[in-house]
Chain A
Amino acid sequence: MMKFKKYLIIVGFLALLSTGWYLSSRKYVSVSFYHWNTEFNLGVSERKLIENAESDKIYIHLFDLDIDNNTGQILPKAKVNFISNIPENKDLIPVIYIAQKCFKNNSTSSLEILAKKTIELAKTLVPRNHLNWKEFQVDCDWTQNNKEKYFEFLKQLKANLSEQTLLTCTIRLHQIKYPEKTGIPPVKKGILMFYNIGNIHTFSIVNSIYDFETASNYLKRLKDYPIKLDYALATFSWGLHYRMGNIKSILTETSLSRLDSCKLFIKSQNKYVCTLSGLFEGDYFLKGDLIKIEKSGISELNLAAKQLKDHIKEKEINLILYHIKSSELKNYGSNENKNLKSIFN
């Protein structure tokens, strides 16, 4: 009897240990969305999406910063206009995109002014009850040629934000692979853009939005990246218009939905071949042009999550899906959300 008790104690102790281990190794996963349209107008389905994903925040693109062709100055473009309310109890995370060509001949003082104006404009654009930002996100495809200017801009932005606001910025896979060249941005947290992986300039059979093989080439050093990361994953589709093997234009999801009814094309697997030259959706197609349909839907999303899982060190995993208005998310319900989260545990 004594022996049995002893046995029970040992078993109980082991069970406790393993539960503790399980709890300590369990990862907390959150899912939220990017909103990237110039009109913030959430419909029922998008609100439902946020609810099903149990998101506590929404990342809203407020504007782009780009060189104005007429004046040569850096000016805001594509400013967001809030038509509908932000769902209750959800935090607004402002996101701005800045074109890398903005960083050429700027002095430190001009970057200081730019940063100040950026924050001021962001404040005027968002609803008044959403001014206490927990995070402010910057998206820029910086390179080794302009990293100094960009990083200085980030520092200046930080100086203009309140202490409670965490400054974050997007990080592309090539920046993870070659940090010695592209540098580490001066932020506490980055957002790895785990999509737009392939080269779209010339035609290839690989899915440029997300491709497992291509992505694996970039992941070896992910754990070594010195700053914490959130992960942006793709849920969208587009059409790439090629002529003589070179990219000509990009078709939006809305245009893709009209392709089948257009007599200029015939469908062949994931491609449309132009058989009669003509106009479609404001673009012109010559006989022989190709439209390659690329998508990253729920299955690609799950595959990307599985691939990422073994390479990330964070215990709190924030996933951000790009983007909330995509038709690729129309079947994303609470089950899909649970499934996505469970991949990490």
Chain B
Amino acid sequence: MGQMKIRISSLFLISLLLIPQKSSIIKGCGGWYEESYFERSMFIPEMIKTDRFDPFFLSSDDYYSPYNETFNNRKQAVYKTKKENNLDEWESYFLKLIPRDELIEIVYSLPEEAMDSFQTVHLKAIEKMPTSNQKNIGIFKIKEGAQYLRLAKQIEKALYINPWSNEEYNEYLLEGLRTRTINKYYKLKDKELKMRYGFQYVKLSYALKEYENGIKFTNNEYPYTEDDGSMFYRTHGYKAACHVKLKQFSQANIWYAKLYNLGETYKYEAFESFHPQSEDEWNETLNLAESDKERELLWHLLGVYVDPLRGINEIKKLNPESEYLPLLLVRAVQIIENQKIENNDYPNDYGYDGLEQFTPDPYYSWTSITKENTKELITIIRELIPYRIDDESLWWLSGAYLHWMNNDLEKSNEWTKEASSLAKRNHAVLLQVKINNLLNKLSSIETLTETDELEIHEFILDMDSLGRGVSRDDNAIKYVLNSLSIKYSLMDDPLMAELAKSNKHNYYDTESKVDEMISFMLSSSPNAFRRYLINHYSLSLSDLYEVKATARIYKGKFIEANKIFKKNKDSGKTELLGNPFNDRKVDCHDCDHHLPQRVKYTKESFVEKMIELIQKASDINNKNDRAINYFLFANGLYNMSYYGNARLVSTSAISWEFDVSDDGENQNNQVDNYYDCSKAAYYYNEALKLSPNKEFSAKCIWMIAKCEHNEWLNTSYNYNDKIDFVAGEYFNQFKLNYSDTKYYSEVINECGYFCQYINPSEASCIKNKDY
């Protein structure tokens, strides 16, 4: 009732073919984006020589994706999907006589009725071939293949249950189909089809709940091996599922382990189906193993599944040289790292999003070894090293990394050195050596000096010289800079703290901070490390000039802003989306942005134009154009405010235009006067004073009225009052004095609010409100 989802093992879907239900992680995300583990980790599991186990590296996703995050130059086995595998087998069965596209259609899309025409068409084609042995085989394969596919499609249809119904399987139908499959199985000699019929037989036995029958058939009548193709996996998968239904978990789990080990295509499913239930039953599973090698495999799986330390200890007793140990080692280090090392860009902030987010997940192994086990793991590693001739450096470096996390720098350096002498040309190992060296250097710093800075820089350059890996080296640099940032803060050096780890939205709270940073960037004194920080800082000189210029613009100091823009050729080059000198009866930013623009304004050219307009408007000798220049200048002011089409003017590297959230922090990032329409109103009024005609005056009054309304929206509007229009002084003036202008009638046509204000009962006014 209001159930938090309880995952009960016995309810797990066990079949290899049925994709197990994966549940979400425990946390419900309500705030910041959490970086994935690989955006934080500094440990390289790819130091393992084989790529066989790569998908099982600890990952924030269900499985570590070999497609996205392959370590540089690592040759990843590209695993075939089940579908690709199946199609390959069909292609080979039909002697490549059927094109791939057609095969996809035949196997996965077409209904059973279409098999007749498939058979007819291809038989005709083959019959045109000269008589040969291949022709005869081809005819046989087409006929038998079509017959099998017809039956398989019938079975698929019979096994479909509409989830929105109370339907059950038609047992008579399934029984009939099963008889047909078994008859064919015994009659046929063709191995591929025989395997397929056998698979269908076990699948139908499972559906008919004749589990013992399915198991008996597979064990006694199905003599195929993994080398015979995918049907081997699928049939034994159903057999294992039958064991589960009979609560014979030991027999099921040993088969899931075998299937995990044998091939890549069904590895995930085999792992996800592996669910030991109790210690007694687990001991039975171990007893069922045919060799120590198989027992190693079982402990390996238990280690990946729930307890890497126990897995390592047990395999160590059986065979310290085991191929199943390295994955457990790197997973254990990764799990401890995840618990011990904070290396986030963002704070973790999870909000409540309902209890149902709680879904315990057995695959979610983030705590299957705890940080308290670090020393125990180090001891085991040391004991195993003499046996690890082929991958000794992996073990030294894993141990060194654990020592570093335990703050035993002497040992960490010592173990890293051991690995360094063995590293040879293995990129992942060499990189981990350099990462360890960098981290050890960082941790050895007590009071940060210039020498330390330069040494850190040398380590970073050394790492760069190797050629970068996949994120882990970047993460290490991020970690080092984050740590240094804290040190700088403690040393009361906020500028360096900001450079090492930017918190720009909070840091630049005064213009003097911007000036200080500009001076620092321009000065010749920074050492190589500090220069490195400047080069990698998220804000450039042009960004900082733009921050300063933007503040000037909103203070109305356009000449000063222009001078600042001129200090850097890249500053102020953001292109505006619409013409900032346009005016509208009803604001519509998208409309302005879509209009063709003869002149494309940037922030800089906008400022230049504003200077030109105000100069012309103020020139008392310029008798003809003063009013229009005031009006255009006012349009510029209107459009650069929150209400206009050029909000982009307010954007800089530390402020953004659209944010109107209630979040205080974000509010700080808006430039001053962003919501102020009074300056625009003032210059519309100046234009009005010099107005050449009534139409122009009407336009000025309307724009002032808009500003007045914006002011009301900004200060007095309350959503809950459900009143979104209050006519102020200038709407009244417009109504009283300008109703005879053309502009007035245009406004009534466009602005629903004003139209309704004039004619409260006029229903046709509503249409325009959507602006």
Q: Mark B1-40, 1 if CB is under 8 A from A, else 0.
A: 1111011111000000001011000100000000000000
Knowing A139-B1, A141-B355, A284-B307, the reply to whether A278 touches B279 (Cβ < 8 A) is yes
Contact B307 A121 (CB under 8 A): no
Contact A117 B360 (CB under 8 A): no
Contact B166 A124 (CB under 8 A): yes
Contact B360 A120 (CB under 8 A): no
Give B134-164 interface residues, CB cut-off 8 Å to A.
Answer: 163-164
Give A305-336 interface residues, CB cut-off 8 Å to B.
Answer: 322-323
Which of A139, A145, A196 touches B353 (beta carbons < 8 Å)? A145
Q: Mark B293-331, 1 if CB is under 8 A from A, else 0.
A: 000000000000111001000000000000000000000
The answer to whether the Cβ of A232 comes within 8 Å of any Cβ in the partner chain is yes
CB closest chain-B residue, reference A140: B2
B502 → chain A, closest Cβ, in Å? 31
Contact A246 B279 (CB under 8 A): no
| A interface bracket (residues with beta carbon within 8 Å of B) | 35 or more
The answer to whether the Cβ of B368 comes within 8 Å of any Cβ in the partner chain is yes
Contact A246 B367 (CB under 8 A): yes
Determine the chain B residues whose CB is within 8 A of the CB of A249 once the complex forms. 6-7, 360, 362
Contacts across chains A and B counted by CB atoms under 8 Å = 115
Contact A124 B165 (CB under 8 A): yes
B83 → chain A, closest Cβ, in Å? 14
Knowing A247-B26, A264-B279, the reply to whether A61 touches B1 (Cβ < 8 A) is yes
CB closest chain-A residue, reference B7: A249
The answer to whether the Cβ of A200 comes within 8 Å of any Cβ in the partner chain is yes
Contact A280 B4 (CB under 8 A): no
The answer to whether the Cβ of A75 comes within 8 Å of any Cβ in the partner chain is yes
Determine the chain B residues whose CB is within 8 A of the CB of A97 once the complex forms. 1-3
Contact A250 B1 (CB under 8 A): no
Determine the chain A residues whose CB is within 8 A of the CB of B356 once the complex forms. 99-101, 141
The answer to whether the Cβ of B275 comes within 8 Å of any Cβ in the partner chain is yes
The answer to whether the Cβ of A260 comes within 8 Å of any Cβ in the partner chain is no
Give B347-385 interface residues, CB cut-off 8 Å to A.
Answer: 352-356, 358, 360, 362, 367-368, 370, 372
B441 → chain A, closest Cβ, in Å? 31
CB closest chain-B residue, reference A323: B1
Contact B1 A247 (CB under 8 A): no
* Bound: A250/B362 CA distance, A: 12
Which of B1, B8, B306, B353 touches A36 (beta carbons < 8 Å)? B1
CB closest chain-B residue, reference A124: B166
A202 → chain B, closest Cβ, in Å? 11
Determine the chain A residues whose CB is within 8 A of the CB of B656 once the complex forms. none
The answer to whether the Cβ of A19 comes within 8 Å of any Cβ in the partner chain is no
The answer to whether the Cβ of A39 comes within 8 Å of any Cβ in the partner chain is no
CB closest chain-B residue, reference A73: B163
Contact B360 A246 (CB under 8 A): no
Q: Mark B454-469, 1 if CB is under 8 A from A, else 0.
A: 0000000000000000
Which of A69, A124, A322 touches B21 (beta carbons < 8 Å)? A69
Contact A246 B26 (CB under 8 A): yes
The answer to whether the Cβ of A70 comes within 8 Å of any Cβ in the partner chain is yes
* Bound: A196/B367 CA distance, A: 26
Determine the chain A residues whose CB is within 8 A of the CB of B6 once the complex forms. 249-250, 252
Contact B1 A277 (CB under 8 A): no
Determine the chain A residues whose CB is within 8 A of the CB of B372 once the complex forms. 288
Contact A170 B354 (CB under 8 A): no
Contact A70 B367 (CB under 8 A): no
| B interface bracket (residues with beta carbon within 8 Å of A) | 35 or more
Give A127-175 interface residues, CB cut-off 8 Å to B.
Answer: 139, 141-143, 145, 170, 172
Q: Mark A242-272, 1 if CB is under 8 A from B, else 0.
A: 0110111110100000000000100000000
CB closest chain-A residue, reference B306: A284
B420 → chain A, closest Cβ, in Å? 34
A208 → chain B, closest Cβ, in Å? 10
The answer to whether the Cβ of B278 comes within 8 Å of any Cβ in the partner chain is yes
The answer to whether the Cβ of B488 comes within 8 Å of any Cβ in the partner chain is no
Contact A193 B165 (CB under 8 A): no
CB closest chain-B residue, reference A238: B6
The answer to whether the Cβ of B282 comes within 8 Å of any Cβ in the partner chain is yes
* Bound: A61/B1 CA distance, A: 8
Contact A117 B164 (CB under 8 A): yes
The answer to whether the Cβ of A184 comes within 8 Å of any Cβ in the partner chain is no
Contact A252 B19 (CB under 8 A): no
Determine the chain A residues whose CB is within 8 A of the CB of B3 once the complex forms. 36, 97
Contact B310 A277 (CB under 8 A): yes
Which of B1, B9, B164, B307 touches A34 (beta carbons < 8 Å)? B1
Q: Mark B74-99, 1 if CB is under 8 A from A, else 0.
A: 00000000000000000000000000
The answer to whether the Cβ of A222 comes within 8 Å of any Cβ in the partner chain is no
Contact B275 A76 (CB under 8 A): no
The answer to whether the Cβ of A286 comes within 8 Å of any Cβ in the partner chain is yes
The answer to whether the Cβ of B489 comes within 8 Å of any Cβ in the partner chain is no
B116 → chain A, closest Cβ, in Å? 31
Which of A101, A282, A322 touches B275 (beta carbons < 8 Å)? A282
CB closest chain-A residue, reference B163: A75
Determine the chain A residues whose CB is within 8 A of the CB of B307 once the complex forms. 277, 284, 286
Knowing A69-B21, A141-B356, the reply to whether A76 touches B164 (Cβ < 8 A) is yes
| Max count, chain B CB within 10 A of own CB: residue among A143, A200, A323 | A143
CB closest chain-B residue, reference A117: B164
Contact B26 A232 (CB under 8 A): no
The answer to whether the Cβ of A281 comes within 8 Å of any Cβ in the partner chain is yes
The answer to whether the Cβ of A283 comes within 8 Å of any Cβ in the partner chain is yes
The answer to whether the Cβ of B556 comes within 8 Å of any Cβ in the partner chain is no
B574 → chain A, closest Cβ, in Å? 33
B464 → chain A, closest Cβ, in Å? 38
Contact B276 A248 (CB under 8 A): no
* Bound: A76/B6 CA distance, A: 17
Determine the chain B residues whose CB is within 8 A of the CB of A277 once the complex forms. 307, 310
Determine the chain A residues whose CB is within 8 A of the CB of B354 once the complex forms. 100, 141-143
Determine the chain B residues whose CB is within 8 A of the CB of A61 once the complex forms. 1
The answer to whether the Cβ of B277 comes within 8 Å of any Cβ in the partner chain is yes
Q: Mark A98-114, 1 if CB is under 8 A from B, else 0.
A: 01110000000000000
Contact A247 B360 (CB under 8 A): yes
The answer to whether the Cβ of A125 comes within 8 Å of any Cβ in the partner chain is yes
Determine the chain A residues whose CB is within 8 A of the CB of B4 once the complex forms. 196, 200, 250
Which of A76, A100, A196, A201 touches B26 (beta carbons < 8 Å)? A201
Determine the chain A residues whose CB is within 8 A of the CB of B2 once the complex forms. 97, 139, 141, 170, 172, 193, 196
Contact A281 B165 (CB under 8 A): no
Contact A322 B1 (CB under 8 A): yes
* Bound: A249/B10 CA distance, A: 14
Contact B1 A232 (CB under 8 A): yes
* Bound: A201/B277 CA distance, A: 24
Contact A279 B279 (CB under 8 A): yes
Determine the chain B residues whose CB is within 8 A of the CB of A75 once the complex forms. 163-164
The answer to whether the Cβ of A79 comes within 8 Å of any Cβ in the partner chain is yes
* Bound: A224/B475 CA distance, A: 54
Contact A120 B164 (CB under 8 A): yes
| Max count, chain B CB within 10 A of own CB: residue among A79, A248, A249 | A249
By Cβ-Cβ distance, the 7 closest A-B pairs, closest first, are: A282-B9, A284-B306, A249-B360, A124-B166, A322-B1, A141-B354, A282-B277
Other than A76-B164, A244-B370, A282-B9, give 15 A-B pairs with Cβ distance below 8 A: A69-B19, A79-B166, A100-B353, A139-B1, A141-B354, A141-B355, A143-B352, A145-B353, A196-B355, A232-B1, A247-B358, A252-B6, A278-B282, A282-B276, A283-B362
15 contacts between A and B (CB under 8 A): A76-B163, A95-B1, A141-B355, A143-B352, A143-B354, A200-B358, A246-B367, A249-B362, A250-B6, A252-B8, A264-B279, A280-B279, A282-B276, A284-B362, A286-B307
